[in-house]
Amino acid sequence: MIEALRVALRRGGKKLLAGVDFHLGPGELVAVVGPNGAGKTSLIRILSGEYPPDSGTVQLDGVPLDRWSPRLLARRRAVLPQETSLDFPLSALEVALMGRMPHVRSSRDRQLALDALHQADAAHLAHRIYPTLSGGERQRVQLARVLCQLRDDSAPAQRYLLLDEPTAALDLAHQYTLLRTVRRLVGDGLGGLAILHDLNLAAQFADRIVVMAGGQIVTGGDPRTVLVPELIREVYAVDCVVTRHPCLAVPHVIPVPDARMGVGAHTTVPRTHD
């Protein structure tokens, strides 16, 4: 598993993480939720090895990350960031092929990249020039890149996918497509972590929800025990009703409009007369 033990992180004099313990095992999808500035992205950067912790340790299969070679680490875990800056006139297929860089070159690489584009619902974009794509299309191509990166049939070791707000740029249909794809890979043994802002998506797809605030983990567990009105009010300062989803055995969060602000589904706009 990937494991963070008593991890602390500071940047620019600001405490981003404070004594965080976290683990991600194979065959589970963990959703990390919390308000802006809670430390969610910092957690991914620590778990991926992008940032070394100021204190504490991060391990992959019991071995500290700084003892892994970059190439071997890249074959075991992949990261889909919130944004990826790439302005070169590469095709979407060429971007997906970047995922094969940690691997020995093979005649199968092109087909693996095409397969990954298909998994990401981006096969029809294969020959489009990447900078001309919309934000959502780019995100799907980047998903194909990380899926391609983790494909290694020659080695049976467990792999991990870390996704930082992967649904932010996607329309409703592609949000579900992406999370169904990740869910399917988790069913095959992948370990997945996804930072999500939509609590209902987290409830529908995650095995475990971890709630962060102020650089710390507030709680974590089964969606049915984590997503309760009292906790949501404490962390987000939002009142809500939590009911059972009408079609699934998961909680469904419904924010309650703040009548003092005059905001809500039933707010009426005064009619004007000629």
pLDDT digits (tens, 9 = 90+) for 188-235: 999 999 999 999 999 999 999 999 999 999 999 999 999 999 999 999
The percentage of residues in the chain with a pLDDT greater than 90, rounded to a whole number, is 81
pLDDT tens per residue, range 119-157: 999 999 999 999 999 999 999 999 999 999 998 877 667
CA gap 213, 230 in Å, rounded: 15
| Structure-block tokens of residue 207 | 């095995």
In angstroms, the Cα distances linking 33 to 19, 187, 196, 199 are 18, 22, 6, 7
* CATH hierarchy code of domain 2-227: 3.40.50.300
For tokens 């995650």, the residue is 206
Domain positions in the chain are 2-227
Enter the pTM of the model: 0.89
CA dihedral of 124, 128, 131, 134, whole degrees rounded to 10: -30
CA gap 196, 176 in Å, rounded: 12
Helix (H) or strand (E) holding 46: helix 40-48
| Structure-block tokens of residue 28 | 């589970």
Q: Are 187 and 20 in contact (CB under 8 A)?
A: no
